[in-house]
Amino acid sequence: MKRILGLTRRCIQDFDMIKDDDKIGVGLSGGKDSMVLLYALKLYQNFSPEKFQLEAFTIDLGFEGFDASTIEKYCKNIDVPFNVKKTNIKNIVFDVRKEKSPCSLCANMRRGAIHNALKEKGFNKLALGHHGDDAVDTLFLSMFYEGRINTLSPKSFLTKKELYVIRPFLYLSEKDIKNAVSKFQIPVVKNPCYVDKQTKREEIHILLEDIYKKIPGSRNNILTAIKNKEEINLWF
């Protein structure tokens, strides 16, 4: 966990993510990234120069078999308050709208639900578990399907909600997170979505994994390019 905490602290400090008296809600889906992020931020609280409140927020989309109890037990074990908001997003997206490409609508509704859940409790920041590989995937998705150069932001402000979104794991790799799950036996809840692993994002991820194998060092070079203040300047 030393590597994860070190890179998390550096990312938090580089982008001034946390202030004294912040009320930070972690978007906890039950997947590996958010579960490790919650644990890392709980540990970071112990030595953070800023004092902040931390709680977990889970959005129940309404899929059959979603295991919120495992997430709740995990939060209790690491002493983090747990909040769950039940929604009918699955019903709207799949049963009523019958979306052929459901991810965009689902993501928008999910974001709205968690933003509202945080604001209802007076929280001012939402922490998400996106890591460096997610940032690279998003960059190529944006270029290939939208014709623009864009990626995940370390910190952004939602003016309509008066809510900050922070991503303290952007200096980490997916490999770092998988190693933490295995080493610290962090529980992971299976994604119940019908189209899990069948998305354009997954296709891009597989394509990039092949590129990384063929061109050693390419992943780190792409991240270096993203962070380059003098050129693209996507993060700073």
User: What is the distance between the alpha carbons of residues 173 and 197, in angstroms, rounded to a whole number?
Assistant: 19
Each domain of the chain, given as residue ranges in start order, spans 2-195
- 28 close to 60: Cβ distance less than 8 angstroms: no
Q: What DSSP letter does each residue of 136-181 carry, written as one string?
A: HHHHHHHHHHHSS-----SEEEETTTTEEEE-TTTTS-HHHHHHHH
Q: What is the pLDDT of residues 2-15, one digit of tens each?
A: 999 999 999 999 99
Q: What's the topology of domain 2-195?
A: Rossmann fold (3.40.50)
DSSP 50: S
Whether the full predicted model's pTM is greater than 0.85, yes or no, is yes
The residue that leads in pLDDT, 200 or 32, is: 32
Model confidence at 232, in pLDDT bands (50, 70, 90)? low
In the predicted model, is pLDDT for residue 191 greater than 90? no
Question: Which distant-in-sequence residues (6+ apart) come within 8 Å of 162 by Cβ?
Answer: 119, 124
Element (H, E) at 126: strand 125-127
Share of the chain above pLDDT 90, in %: 78
